[in-house]
Structure 1
């Protein structure tokens, strides 16, 4: 994942124009998001609905370690895996990058880089791409430099994705690890029957 150094020699007016265009497109970094508890998790179907992906994609990305459930990993205990807000945010970013034609190899590199960021820091990042490479920008100047240089064909402001998820996940209740398991989720009924068949 490339990070721009932003040394363009264009006129200051062109730079201001690029910053204005980036602001109009919602590509500039967001401020003031609230860190969410890391012990709250969402089951697979909820994560899929919030990220706009299929359960098959979710399962494949977990098995290939692209995005794994971090609140409660799949451990064979029978308890459903739980995805954190951060996991769902990254799932949604992966989906958007795939939709724009970025290769899975480039997406893996970008996700690997994002793993080392604090959760709240993610909201300050804008991912820009030229369709081949993915660039991380953490300031309006970096976004403008990429747009001026032609590398910034499209961008994803993670702060904006964060706010979308806050809205969609705010309508469902997550599960806390400290809480006993609630009544079984309908999607887990098949798994329960399989366990009973094996033990019974």
Structure 2
């Protein structure tokens, strides 16, 4: 999302903040202490663990609740992180370059949660444009720029549905959390 793309809403005279979600739903309260381990995040976002690991190591989408801090530690992803992972997956599937996706993700991270749900990302396969109203979507399509769109509010509901039956984990502040294999190694080495 280039500077002109990221500010498309403001340039057209439409306020940057959406006038509510595209589908009129209210937003759930998000728990900032509860998250999802890597395999759960992968299932909900429809990506491989290799993608998840690469995106975390390169800073594309890092877990906001707990990052890996050495061998055996577990990343813990928030709902919002998984939402961004799924949006990244969709953009990649449509042929958008990783450079454009990085720019779009950076811009999405600057948004509040309320704003995210009201955004539609449009792309022509090369650039990513942010639209916060139906008028902006129409203007972009009529200008010949938009080829496909991702309604973030709809992706939000898809992720919410996927995560409803998957396990969560509470972040333990100040405590290092080990996976089962690391616990076994520690016990073996101590004995």
In structure 1, stretches of 5+ residues that fail to align are 8-27
* Secondary structure of 1:42's aligned partner: strand
Q: Is the 8 A contact 2:108 2:116 kept in 1?
A: yes
Distance 1:54 1:77 in 2: 20
Q: Deviations over 1:91-147 (max 9, x none)?
A: 000000000000000000000001111122210100000110000011111011111
Rounded Cα–Cα distance in structure 1 between residues aligned with 2:126 and 2:160: 30
Pick the aligned partner of 1:161 from 144, 147, 155.
155
Q: How many residues align?
A: 174
Q: Which residue of 1 aligns with 2:131?
A: 137
RMSD: 2.3
- When residues 134 and 77 of structure 1 are mapped into structure 2, their CA distance, relative to the original with a 3 A threshold, is same
Query: Counterparts of 2:190 and 2:58 in 1: how far apart (Å)?
Result: 29
TM-score by length of 1: 0.79
Partner SS state of residue 60, structure 1? helix
Counterpart in the other structure of 2:89: 95
Residue of structure 2 in register with 1:46 after alignment = 40
Pairwise CA distance, 1:195: 4.5
Q: Does 1:170 align with 2:164?
A: yes
Indicate which of 138, 149, 157 corresponds to 2:143.
Answer: 149
Offset of residue 152 of structure 1: 1.1
Measured after TM superposition, the shift of residue 37 of structure 1 is: 1.0
Q: What is the CA-CA distance between 1:197 and the residue it aligns to?
A: 5.7
Partners of 1:50 and 1:125 lie apart in 2 by: 20
**CA–CA distance in 2 between the matches of 1:63 and 1:196?**
29
**8 Å Cα contact 2:35/2:79 also seen in 1:** yes
Q: Secondary structure at the match of 1:65?
A: coil
Kindly report which structure 2 residues correspond to 1:56-67, keeping only aligned pairs within 5 A, or say none: 56-67=50-61
Q: Is the 8 A contact 2:40 2:167 kept in 1?
A: no
Q: Distance in 1 between matches of 2:93 and 2:68?
A: 27
User: 2:103 maps to what in 1?
Assistant: 109
Instruction: Give the TM-score normalised by the residue count of structure 2.
Output: 0.82
CA distance in 2, matches of 1:46, 1:6: 40
Larger radius of gyration: 1
Alignment partner, residue 29 of structure 1: 22
